[in-house]
Structure 1
């Protein structure tokens, strides 16, 4: 499985709390997938898409409104906490786990009837090369995409 986030940026690990760390912009985002014990990573640079790809070329592209949701968290668990590997993509308003932390950093937007927040998210399945069999395609229903490769 490979991970493409479109641009380099600094990543900050926030979970588990005892393993908080920060990696510089020269980090290959794909190396985040090697978090063998499960981790939550926040981008500190604006990102508007994440692409997950299997070795056969199939994958999933997740795009979102990068103006309204400039940050993303990646939950990566190779099976340390879940019964099977999990990659969760969480576009967000600010790179914080807590509203109080976001407010302290003046990064928490105000929402009201006259000032709503709107955004969009798009999912696109990336098909395997023509020579691949159907068994190499993602499994799951419309609400789940399971990384099996």
Structure 2
């Protein structure tokens, strides 16, 4: 499924995804930290080279406490995709051209879902993102790290 323009936000699949995440999704119990990550072109995200690196850093940093970490992917037009839902439609099959520029509509949807998630989770959150996603995360008061080594160090501090 291809999302090309801001009209993608009006598609039934996207509207349903947003509603389900806002109304029905609850972060897993027992988490102590949420790590927000950028999306990847390859689906599911965990099969991409970048996400394999992210997962490796998270596992090696958290060690036996990896279950205390919740991974969430930030993306347009879906807003956010919890790692455990990356294989669910439409998260498992959408495609969007990456320009590096986010429209205000995209930012607003992502920001709203992010704020809602943070209220539900009630745990520390760290983001490893850049560009518009970094801006959104900083706007909601989230800590943003600039490197994978910094992410690993922060994970060690938070879950030890």
Which interval holds the TM-score relative to the shorter structure? Answer: under 0.3
Which structure's residues are more often strand, by fraction? 1
TM-score w.r.t. the length of structure 2 is: 0.22
Higher relative contact order (CA 8 A, sep 6+): 2
Is the radius of gyration larger for structure 1 or structure 2?
1
Which structure's residues are more often helix, by fraction? 2
